[in-house]
Amino acid sequence: MSLHVDNVVMETDSQRLWQAFHHDYEDASDTSLVLKDYVTIASAFQSSSLCWIRKDANKATHVL
Q: Do the beta carbons of residue 48 and residue 9 sit within 8 Å?
A: yes
Domain ranges of the chain: 7-57
CB atoms within 10 A of CB 20: 20
Q: Do the beta carbons of residue 45 and residue 3 sit within 8 Å?
A: no
pLDDT of residue 3: 62
pLDDT digits (tens, 9 = 90+) for 6-54: 788 888 888 877 887 777 766 667 777 877 787 788 778 888 887 888 8
Record the pTM: 0.54
pLDDT of residue 22: 76
The answer to whether residue 59 scores a pLDDT higher than 80 is: no
Residues 33 and 56: their CA atoms lie apart, in Å, by 24
- Section 1-9 average pLDDT: 70
**Residues near 58 by Cβ (< 8 Å), separated by ≥ 6?**
11, 13
